């Protein structure tokens, strides 16, 4: 397994964006997923900057507080983003002949390493830490 293709793909996961089309029942291509990530990215970034959304250790986004899920736009954004990330992780795992969990862990590590000041990261004990 080489790291370069995984890292390149992980970069795609960090380029997330708003106004996604709903995930289809069919498997999406990496290009389709990338387009959806890019559309969601501005809104995702806004929620991160507002301290409402953070990255978890499974390579997914999560509301920092449950109350924030009352914002239905944010809740939908989280669902769509995580669904697409999971789909991408499956594609990458198949390409790299590795597991989805390994791809997700590598994505989480990259997201943690690239977190900007003011963003939240979920710790192993379940608490949130502001970078």
Judge whether 10 and 107 are in contact, CB under 8 Å. yes
Q: Give the pLDDT of residue 47.
A: 97
Domain boundary assignment for the chain: 3-19+27-130
H or E segment and range at residue 118: none
Each residue's pLDDT, cut to its tens digit, for the chain (131 residues) gives 555 554 444 444 444 332 233 333 456 899 999 999 999 999 999 999 999 999 999 999 999 999 999 999 999 999 999 999 999 999 999 999 999 999 999 999 999 999 999 999 999 999 999 99
Q: Which distant-in-sequence residues (6+ apart) come within 8 Å of 59 by Cβ? A: 13, 85, 89, 103, 104, 105, 106, 107, 108, 111
Predicted pLDDT at 3: 52
119 to each of 9, 49, 84, how far by Cα in Å?
A: 22, 6, 21
Report which of 129, 36, 35 is spatially closest to residue 79, judged by C-alpha positions: 36
Q: DSSP alpha helices (H): ranges in 15-129?
A: 30-49, 72-96, 100-113
The reported pLDDT for the residue numbered 2 is 53
Specify the pLDDT at position 27. Answer: 66
pLDDT of residue 28: 83
Q: What pLDDT, on a 0 to 100 scale, did the predictor assign at position 45?
A: 95
Q: 52: Cβ–Cβ under 8 A, 6 or more apart, which residues?
A: 63, 64, 65, 68, 71, 74
Element (H, E) at 10: helix 3-14
Q: Which two tokens stand for residue 121?
A: 């990261």
């Amino acid at each position: 397994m080489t790291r370069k293709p995984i890292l390149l793909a992980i970069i795609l996961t960090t380029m997330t964006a708003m106004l996604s089309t709903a995930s289809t029942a069919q498997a999406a291509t990496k290009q389709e997923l990338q387009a959806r990530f890019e559309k969601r990215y501005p809104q995702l970034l806004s929620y991160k900057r507002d301290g409402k959304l953070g990255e978890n250790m499974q390579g997914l986004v999560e509301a920092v507080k449950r109350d924030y899920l009352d914002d239905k736009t944010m809740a939908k954004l989280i669902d769509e983003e995580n669904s697409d990330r999971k789909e991408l992780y499956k594609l990458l795992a198949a390409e790299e002949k590795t597991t989805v969990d390994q791809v997700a862990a590598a994505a989480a590590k990259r997201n943690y390493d690239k977190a900007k000041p003011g963003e939240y990261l979920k710790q192993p004990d379940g608490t949130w830490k502001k970078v």
